[in-house]
Amino acid sequence: MPSSLLIVESPSKAKTLKKYLGQDFEVLASYGHVRDLVPKNGAVDPEKDFAMKYQLIPKNSKHVDAIAKAVAEADNIYLATDPDREGEAISWHLFKILEGKKLLKGKLTQRVVFHEITKNAVLEAIANPREISQQLVDAQQTRRALDYLVGFNLSPLLWKKIRRGLSAGRVQSPALRLICERENEIRAFVEQEYWSLHLDSHKGRQKFSARLTHLGGKKLEQFDIATDADHQAALARLAGGEATVTAIEKKKKTRNPAAPFTTSTLQQEGVRKLGMTTDRTMRTAQQLYEGIDIGQGTIGLITYMRTDAVVLSNEALTEIRGYIEGNFDAEFLPKNPVTFKNKSKNAQEAHEAIRPTSILRTPESVKPFLTSDQFKLYDMIWKRTLACQMAPARFDTTGVDIALGEGVFRASGQVQVFAGFLAVYEEDVDDAEDEDNARLPLLEQGDVLPVDKLYGDQHFTQPPPRFSEASLVKALEEFGIGRPSTYASIISTLKDREYVTLDKKRFMPTDTGDIVNKFLTEHFSQYVDYNFTARLENQLDEIASGQREWVPVMDSFWKGFSKQITEKESISRAEVTTESLDEACPKCAKPLMIRFGKRGRFVGCSGYPECDYTRNMNETAESAEADEPEIVEGRTCPNDGGQLVIKKGPYGKFIGCANYPKCKHIEPLEKPRDTGVTCPECKTGSLIERKSRYGKLFYSCNTYPKCKYATWNPPVAEPCPQCGWPILTIKTTKRRGTEKVCPQKECGYSEVIAPPEAKTEE
């Protein structure tokens, strides 16, 4: 039997490590967290120094049992969960569980940490074990307790004041505030007109353009030429003279490579360059870290991906510099290694930036073993890491001043004279720098140039852009909201709670998100304040480094927070969800108001339920009146005999009872297409084609709600030859073509009936 047991988080990591450690080691996985706070009020007790009540996570109990059994038979126990606070806490929980089972008596139990899954790194870590860091555990427990107290006290308040099912989080709420405030800026934005003036000229065969920078001896600001009249007047002051080169300024310019990736910058570039979401980027990075079989066994391809450090180990620097020396000209290698400073003063989640475990494993050499996402992400990490140790790119820049009439125009050009790191990794440049990349002819002071064209361009100021996932991650980092390892989950939570939607990959707050944010910023402003959130994160870092005790931090937060929760209980729901309008109801003349329902905001009468007047937020009273319900001739409501009318809802037109809300009978305007396939569940109804709220087709039993059977794919009245289920469905994908599949997931039967279309090259 193996004498040593190594416990990790991931089963795929366990398989890789087993190959490195040999027969003396058993390697088991905890499958992530093993304990969590009891999911009910009182799991954190402020009256008893915030004592926490934990329970085993049910889905992982069998893995804990397997670990306990292996511990009983081993002599040495190594806790090798991930090298961050979360991993430290998992090791501590495992230790407490095993200690509670009295399995650790007489056994050596130690913590080991490695930041890359390579044989040397793992063996070195096991040779240098340590004790569990109580400071790191305290920092993680403080974070968990804070999040619990906010969630279990603030979320029920949202249920009472807005609607059930909502949640508020300690870092989620300030992130929502960022998105809502940006949307408010966009709504309040008033565009302004301004003009830029340009001169087109040439020398020899080479054409170029210059922009007016000075007029009448005065430097132009953005709105100095604000209207078409100003533009015409400026052109008049410029016309009629010669264009003369009055000054030439030549400079040498360098661009330095960016630092290697941190969690934050990896997520940003994953979104910008690869089109991945933050969540997909992190899942793919996890796979590269845990290990891929590259033909010579499974090996971790990158170092640990949750880090805000930008340093590289001496061994990595030596290998990278050796690769540059062997594959590039001498001028691409700086004399000394390039060093970077951490932007985060508390960068300590890991010792290194994200890098390949070996720069010698080029992207092309491992490409056959990787999925498309894995290859794209590894390629980007590899190139950024290599580029960070290469020489700066060099440019010759030229600025030319050209006098014409009462004005001075400026033409700028830039020529790359040495690619440096850009030979490997091209970074984004801003628009201003992009404009300067134009090539200029060889000009000399005193040159008289032809005026090919003198013209103005009309511009309008633009509102600030909505946040993309990349720019939101950048803003979260700048404001100190959360930590890089939490950004993906923050974004996922906002989307899952339907507080935000994505429009052209940009975040827009929903009506629900707007109202939740309004409530929190008006009544809990301190707790969604960016500085407060950042200070709390800094305090967690100080707990982790031993500079601060965790109980006083909790106590300071809880005293103010609990008092505020109590004070806000008296707020009425109407105060939070309604807003008065200076407009009378066209039906009863009572004031109209903006109200909040399950489908968002709408305009309704303050006299409800006596008056049922409503209209959409984007409608006027006139357009709503023109859209009055149309009577369905010759039919009455089957429930109460009332008149049936055609109504318009958020998902299109439908037939409903005119006596709503007393009678809530509704039916589709168009009769659904019947597939003729008998429902496989109730065997009495028929499967009909319907549309989901988002417009996607699905197929469900026409006896709904008595029978709730439904499937996304078109049904076929053929029994599954594998499991006997009464129907099959037709599924079409780009990869596999069209196939018949069993809708029972546990069956897995599929039969290709048409292969995918062959790609044609144009």
What's residue 366's pLDDT? Answer: 95
The CA distance from 346 to 267, in Å, is: 19
The answer to whether 659 and 640 have CB atoms below 8 angstroms apart is yes
Q: What does the block give as tokens for 70?
A: 């292996």
329 vs 434, which has greater pLDDT? Answer: 329
The CA distance from 328 to 587, in Å, is: 80
Provide mean pLDDT across the span 33-49: 91
Provide mean pLDDT across the span 627-652: 81
> Where do the domains of the chain lie?
4-132, 141-188+468-570, 193-256+393-460, 263-387, 576-668, 674-754
- pLDDT at residue 428 above 70? no
The pLDDT tens digits of the residues spanning 379-411 come to 999 999 999 999 999 999 999 999 999 999 999
240 vs 655, which has greater pLDDT? Answer: 655
Helix-helix angle 372-387:278-290, to 10 degrees: 80
Q: HSE (CB half, 13 Å, CA atoms) of 137? A: 15
- pLDDT at residue 439 above 90? no
- pLDDT at residue 628 above 70? no
pLDDT confidence tier of residue 762, bands split at 50, 70 and 90: very low
What's residue 623's pLDDT? Answer: 58
297 alpha carbon, distance to own chain's centre: 33
The answer to whether 243 and 450 have CB atoms below 8 angstroms apart is yes
Please state, as a whole number, how many other Cβ atoms lie within 10 Å of the Cβ of residue 564. Answer: 17
What's residue 317's pLDDT? Answer: 95
- pLDDT at residue 361 above 60? yes
What's residue 429's pLDDT? Answer: 54
Q: What does the block give as tokens for 194?
A: 């301004």
- Beta bridge pairs of residue 688: 674, 700
- pLDDT at residue 760 above 50? no
Helices marked H in 330-414: 363-366, 372-387
- pLDDT at residue 244 above 70? yes
Radius of gyration, alpha carbons of the chain: 33
Length of the chain: 762
Handedness of CA 456, 458, 461, 462 (dihedral sign): negative
Please state, as a whole number, how many other Cβ atoms lie within 10 Å of the Cβ of residue 570. Answer: 7
The answer to whether 505 and 454 have CB atoms below 8 angstroms apart is no
Indicate the helix (H) or strand (E) that contains 488.
helix 487-496
The pLDDT tens digits of the residues spanning 524-557 come to 998 889 989 889 989 999 999 999 999 999 999 9
What's residue 721's pLDDT? Answer: 92
The CA distance from 67 to 600, in Å, is: 49
The pLDDT tens digits of the residues spanning 192-240 come to 999 999 999 999 999 999 999 999 999 999 999 999 999 999 999 998 7
Q: What does the block give as tokens for 354?
A: 């994200």
The answer to whether 529 and 175 have CB atoms below 8 angstroms apart is no
Collapse the DSSP code of 66 into the 3-class scheme (helix H, G, I; strand E, B; otherwise coil) and give the result.
helix
- pLDDT at residue 761 above 50? no
The percent of the chain in helix, strand and coil, each rounded to the nearest 5, is 35, 25, 40
- pLDDT at residue 603 above 70? yes
Active site residues: 304
The pLDDT tens digits of the residues spanning 168-184 come to 888 999 999 999 999 99
Q: What percent of the chain has pLDDT over 70?
A: 94
- Beta bridge pairs of residue 247: 401
- pLDDT at residue 145 above 90? yes
State the CATH class of domain 4-132.
alpha beta
Mean pLDDT lowest among 20-29, 571-580, 608-617, 626-635: 626-635
Provide mean pLDDT across the span 181-189: 95
- pLDDT at residue 267 above 80? yes
Please name the residues in contact with 8: beta carbons below 8 A apart, sequence gap of 6 or more: 14, 17, 27, 28, 29, 30, 80, 81
The pLDDT tens digits of the residues spanning 688-738 come to 998 876 678 899 998 888 899 999 999 999 999 999 999 999 998 877 889
Torsion, Cα 265 266 270 276, to 10 degrees, reads -110
- pLDDT at residue 758 above 50? yes
pLDDT confidence tier of residue 432, bands split at 50, 70 and 90: very low
- pLDDT at residue 484 above 90? no
Residue type, 681: E
The pLDDT tens digits of the residues spanning 282-336 come to 999 999 999 898 888 888 999 999 888 899 989 999 999 999 999 999 999 999 9
CATH fold for domain 193-256+393-460: Topoisomerase I; domain 3 (2.70.20)
Torsion, Cα 416 422 424 425, to 10 degrees, reads -150
- pLDDT at residue 9 above 80? yes
* Token pair 């056959």 in the structure block, residue: 368
What's residue 436's pLDDT? Answer: 55
The pLDDT tens digits of the residues spanning 82-141 come to 998 999 999 999 999 999 999 999 899 999 999 888 888 899 999 999 999 999 999 999
What's residue 111's pLDDT? Answer: 96
167 alpha carbon, distance to own chain's centre: 19
- pLDDT at residue 348 above 70? no
Q: Mean pLDDT across the chain, nearest whole number?
A: 90
Helices marked H in 36-84: 61-73
Q: What is the pTM of this model?
A: 0.76
- pLDDT at residue 626 above 60? no
pLDDT confidence tier of residue 343, bands split at 50, 70 and 90: low
- pLDDT at residue 684 above 70? yes
Provide mean pLDDT across the span 34-57: 92
What's residue 257's pLDDT? Answer: 95
The CA distance from 209 to 221, in Å, is: 19
Q: What percent of the chain has pLDDT over 90?
A: 66
DSSP code per residue over 535-604: HHHHHHHHHHTTSS-HHHHHHHHHHHHHHHHHHGGG--HHHHH-EEEEEE-TTT-PEEEEEEETTEEEEE
| CATH architecture of the domain covering 263-387 | Orthogonal Bundle (1.10)
Please name the residues in contact with 458: beta carbons below 8 A apart, sequence gap of 6 or more: 193, 195, 228, 231
Nearest 5°: the CA angle 326, 328, 331 is 115
What's residue 431's pLDDT? Answer: 46
What's residue 1's pLDDT? Answer: 58
- pLDDT at residue 349 above 50? no
Q: What does the block give as tokens for 538?
A: 């800094």
* Token pair 């029920």 in the structure block, residue: 156
What's residue 625's pLDDT? Answer: 58
The pLDDT tens digits of the residues spanning 449-468 come to 999 999 999 999 999 999 99
Collapse the DSSP code of 677 into the 3-class scheme (helix H, G, I; strand E, B; otherwise coil) and give the result.
strand
CATH fold for domain 141-188+468-570: Topoisomerase I; domain 2 (1.10.460)
Residue type, 336: N
- Beta bridge pairs of residue 6: 27, 78
What's residue 128's pLDDT? Answer: 94
